[in-house]
Protein backbone atom coordinates (compact mmCIF):
# COMPACT_ATOMS: atom_id res chain seq x y z
CA UNK A 1 0.00 0.00 0.00
CA UNK A 2 1.32 3.44 -0.84
CA UNK A 3 0.16 6.79 0.47
CA UNK A 4 -0.57 9.58 -1.95
CA UNK A 5 0.31 13.14 -1.07
CA UNK A 6 -3.40 13.79 -0.52
CA UNK A 7 -3.30 11.36 2.41
CA UNK A 8 -5.48 8.75 0.67
CA UNK A 9 -4.28 5.16 0.54
CA UNK A 10 -3.85 3.41 -2.80
CA UNK A 11 -3.50 -0.37 -3.14
CA UNK A 12 -0.99 -1.53 -5.67
CA UNK A 13 -1.45 -5.04 -6.99
CA UNK A 14 1.77 -6.77 -7.86
CA UNK A 15 1.72 -9.11 -10.84
CA UNK A 16 1.97 -12.84 -10.45
CA UNK A 17 5.59 -13.93 -10.50
CA UNK A 18 6.42 -17.52 -11.44
CA UNK A 19 9.09 -18.99 -9.17
CA UNK A 20 9.11 -22.56 -10.52
CA UNK A 21 7.60 -24.53 -13.42
CA UNK A 22 8.09 -28.19 -14.32
CA UNK A 23 6.75 -29.77 -17.49
CA UNK A 24 8.38 -33.12 -16.72
CA UNK A 25 6.12 -36.07 -17.49
CA UNK A 26 5.86 -38.27 -14.41
CA UNK A 27 5.67 -42.04 -14.21
CA UNK A 28 2.42 -43.20 -12.65
CA UNK A 29 2.51 -44.80 -9.23
CA UNK A 30 1.15 -48.32 -9.41
CA UNK A 31 -2.30 -49.36 -8.29
CA UNK A 32 -2.60 -49.23 -4.47
CA UNK A 33 0.79 -47.47 -4.03
CA UNK A 34 0.99 -44.15 -2.21
CA UNK A 35 0.32 -41.26 -4.59
CA UNK A 36 3.10 -38.70 -5.05
CA UNK A 37 2.07 -35.08 -5.59
CA UNK A 38 4.96 -33.43 -7.48
CA UNK A 39 5.39 -29.66 -7.60
CA UNK A 40 4.57 -28.40 -11.09
CA UNK A 41 4.20 -24.67 -10.53
CA UNK A 42 4.95 -22.13 -7.82
CA UNK A 43 4.06 -18.44 -7.97
CA UNK A 44 3.99 -15.43 -5.66
CA UNK A 45 1.61 -12.45 -5.65
CA UNK A 46 -1.16 -14.98 -6.31
CA UNK A 47 -4.50 -16.25 -5.12
CA UNK A 48 -7.11 -18.83 -6.10
CA UNK A 49 -9.82 -17.92 -8.57
CA UNK A 50 -12.70 -18.69 -6.20
CA UNK A 51 -15.30 -17.65 -8.74
CA UNK A 52 -14.20 -20.58 -10.94
CA UNK A 53 -13.61 -23.04 -8.09
CA UNK A 54 -17.03 -22.33 -6.60
CA UNK A 55 -18.77 -22.75 -9.98
CA UNK A 56 -16.76 -25.38 -11.83
CA UNK A 57 -19.51 -26.49 -14.15
CA UNK A 58 -20.23 -22.89 -15.18
CA UNK A 59 -16.48 -22.34 -15.74
CA UNK A 60 -16.04 -25.30 -18.10
CA UNK A 61 -16.41 -24.28 -21.70
CA UNK A 62 -18.03 -26.82 -24.03
CA UNK A 63 -16.47 -30.13 -22.97
CA UNK A 64 -15.15 -31.57 -19.74
CA UNK A 65 -11.49 -32.06 -20.69
CA UNK A 66 -8.01 -31.15 -19.47
CA UNK A 67 -7.80 -28.03 -21.64
CA UNK A 68 -11.00 -26.66 -20.11
CA UNK A 69 -10.26 -27.78 -16.54
CA UNK A 70 -6.73 -26.43 -16.00
CA UNK A 71 -7.70 -22.71 -16.12
CA UNK A 72 -10.03 -23.30 -13.15
CA UNK A 73 -6.98 -24.16 -11.02
CA UNK A 74 -4.67 -21.44 -12.39
CA UNK A 75 -3.57 -18.62 -10.08
CA UNK A 76 -4.81 -15.06 -10.32
CA UNK A 77 -3.29 -11.85 -8.93
CA UNK A 78 -3.22 -11.72 -5.15
CA UNK A 79 -0.96 -11.50 -2.14
CA UNK A 80 -0.15 -15.16 -1.44
CA UNK A 81 2.10 -18.00 -2.53
CA UNK A 82 0.50 -20.52 -4.90
CA UNK A 83 1.65 -24.13 -5.31
CA UNK A 84 0.31 -26.54 -7.93
CA UNK A 85 1.02 -30.26 -7.62
CA UNK A 86 0.09 -33.13 -9.92
CA UNK A 87 -0.10 -36.78 -8.88
CA UNK A 88 0.04 -39.31 -11.73
CA UNK A 89 -1.25 -42.70 -10.63
CA UNK A 90 -2.77 -45.90 -11.91
CA UNK A 91 -6.41 -46.41 -11.08
CA UNK A 92 -9.36 -48.56 -11.98
CA UNK A 93 -11.56 -47.24 -14.76
CA UNK A 94 -15.10 -48.31 -15.43
CA UNK A 95 -15.30 -49.97 -18.85
CA UNK A 96 -19.05 -49.79 -19.23
CA UNK A 97 -21.37 -52.72 -19.60
CA UNK A 98 -20.02 -56.05 -18.42
CA UNK A 99 -16.47 -55.46 -19.67
CA UNK A 100 -13.44 -55.89 -17.43
CA UNK A 101 -12.21 -53.08 -15.19
CA UNK A 102 -9.43 -51.20 -16.95
CA UNK A 103 -6.24 -49.98 -15.29
CA UNK A 104 -5.29 -46.56 -16.62
CA UNK A 105 -3.34 -43.46 -15.64
CA UNK A 106 -5.16 -40.70 -13.76
CA UNK A 107 -4.01 -37.27 -12.57
CA UNK A 108 -4.95 -35.48 -9.37
CA UNK A 109 -4.30 -31.76 -9.15
CA UNK A 110 -3.63 -30.22 -5.76
CA UNK A 111 -3.38 -26.46 -5.35
CA UNK A 112 -2.25 -24.87 -2.11
CA UNK A 113 -2.26 -21.22 -1.05
CA UNK A 114 0.13 -20.13 1.71
CA UNK A 115 1.29 -16.99 3.41
CA UNK A 116 4.95 -15.89 3.27
CA UNK A 117 5.89 -18.36 6.04
CA UNK A 118 4.32 -21.29 4.09
CA UNK A 119 1.37 -21.56 6.49
CA UNK A 120 -1.44 -23.17 4.51
CA UNK A 121 -4.43 -20.86 4.11
CA UNK A 122 -6.43 -22.98 1.65
CA UNK A 123 -6.09 -26.02 -0.62
CA UNK A 124 -8.13 -27.87 -3.25
CA UNK A 125 -7.73 -31.34 -4.80
CA UNK A 126 -9.43 -32.71 -7.92
CA UNK A 127 -9.10 -35.74 -10.23
CA UNK A 128 -8.62 -34.28 -13.70
CA UNK A 129 -10.18 -37.28 -15.46
CA UNK A 130 -13.43 -36.97 -13.50
CA UNK A 131 -16.04 -37.17 -16.23
CA UNK A 132 -19.37 -36.92 -14.45
CA UNK A 133 -21.47 -33.93 -13.58
CA UNK A 134 -21.59 -32.11 -11.33
CA UNK A 135 -17.83 -31.58 -11.51
CA UNK A 136 -17.88 -30.09 -8.01
CA UNK A 137 -18.64 -33.55 -6.62
CA UNK A 138 -14.98 -34.55 -7.03
CA UNK A 139 -13.61 -31.21 -5.78
CA UNK A 140 -12.19 -31.36 -2.26
CA UNK A 141 -11.22 -28.37 -0.10
CA UNK A 142 -8.95 -28.34 2.93
CA UNK A 143 -10.46 -27.67 6.33
CA UNK A 144 -7.02 -27.25 7.95
CA UNK A 145 -5.72 -23.77 8.72
CA UNK A 146 -2.24 -22.72 9.82
CA UNK A 147 -0.48 -25.99 8.98
CA UNK A 148 2.96 -25.38 7.46
CA UNK A 149 3.55 -26.76 3.96
CA UNK A 150 6.54 -29.11 4.06
CA UNK A 151 8.25 -31.61 1.80
CA UNK A 152 6.97 -35.19 2.29
CA UNK A 153 3.76 -33.95 3.96
CA UNK A 154 0.89 -36.41 3.65
CA UNK A 155 -2.22 -34.86 2.12
CA UNK A 156 -4.37 -36.50 4.79
CA UNK A 157 -3.16 -33.69 7.09
CA UNK A 158 -5.06 -31.26 4.84
CA UNK A 159 -8.36 -32.83 5.96
CA UNK A 160 -9.92 -32.59 2.50
CA UNK A 161 -13.71 -32.52 2.30
CA UNK A 162 -15.97 -32.53 -0.77
CA UNK A 163 -17.26 -29.08 -1.64
CA UNK A 164 -20.48 -30.65 -2.93
CA UNK A 165 -21.96 -33.87 -1.57
CA UNK A 166 -25.28 -35.52 -0.92
CA UNK A 167 -24.17 -38.28 1.44
CA UNK A 168 -22.31 -37.56 4.70
CA UNK A 169 -20.65 -40.99 4.46
CA UNK A 170 -18.86 -39.94 1.27
CA UNK A 171 -17.78 -36.36 1.99
CA UNK A 172 -14.24 -36.97 3.28
CA UNK A 173 -11.25 -37.55 0.98
CA UNK A 174 -10.03 -41.07 1.66
CA UNK A 175 -6.84 -41.32 -0.39
CA UNK A 176 -3.44 -40.48 1.01
CA UNK A 177 -0.52 -39.08 -0.88
CA UNK A 178 2.82 -37.43 -0.30
CA UNK A 179 3.68 -33.87 -1.34
CA UNK A 180 7.07 -33.40 -3.01
CA UNK A 181 8.34 -29.83 -3.03
CA UNK A 182 11.60 -30.79 -4.76
pLDDT digits (tens, 9 = 90+) for 112-163: 999 999 999 999 999 988 767 777 778 999 999 889 999 999 999 999 999 9
For the chain, first and last CA: distance in Å? 33
Sequential DSSP letters for 119-141: BEEEEEEEETT--SS-GGGG-EE
Is residue 5, in this structure, part of any structural domain at all?
no
Q: How many CB atoms lie within 10 A of CB 94?
A: 9
Is residue 1, in this structure, part of any structural domain at all?
no
The total of structural domains in the chain comes to: 1
What DSSP element (H or E) covers 52? Answer: helix 50-53
Q: What is the structure's pLDDT at 1?
A: 42
Mean pLDDT of the chain: 87
Is residue 53, in this structure, part of any structural domain at all?
yes
Q: What is the structure's pLDDT at 33?
A: 95
For residues 84 and 73, what is the distance between their CA atoms, to the nearest angstrom? Answer: 8
CA angle at 37 for the pair 14 and 81, rounded to the nearest 5°? 15
* pLDDT, tens digit (0-9, with 9 covering 90-100), for 24-48: 999 999 998 999 999 999 999 999 9
Is residue 114, in this structure, part of any structural domain at all?
yes
Q: What is the structure's pLDDT at 12?
A: 61
Domain hosting 81: range is: 15-180
Is residue 7, in this structure, part of any structural domain at all?
no
Q: What is the structure's pLDDT at 98?
A: 73
Residues 42, 119 contacting (CB under 8 angstroms): no
For residue 73, pLDDT over 60 is answered with yes
For residue 7, pLDDT over 60 is answered with no
Is residue 95, in this structure, part of any structural domain at all?
yes
Is residue 155, in this structure, part of any structural domain at all?
yes
Is residue 135, in this structure, part of any structural domain at all?
yes
Amino acid sequence: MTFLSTGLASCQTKSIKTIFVSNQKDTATRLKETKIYRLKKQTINSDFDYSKLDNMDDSIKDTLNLKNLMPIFAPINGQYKYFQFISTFQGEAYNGGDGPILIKDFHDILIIKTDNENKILDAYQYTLEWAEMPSEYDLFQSSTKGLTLTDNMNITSLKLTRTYYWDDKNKLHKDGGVIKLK
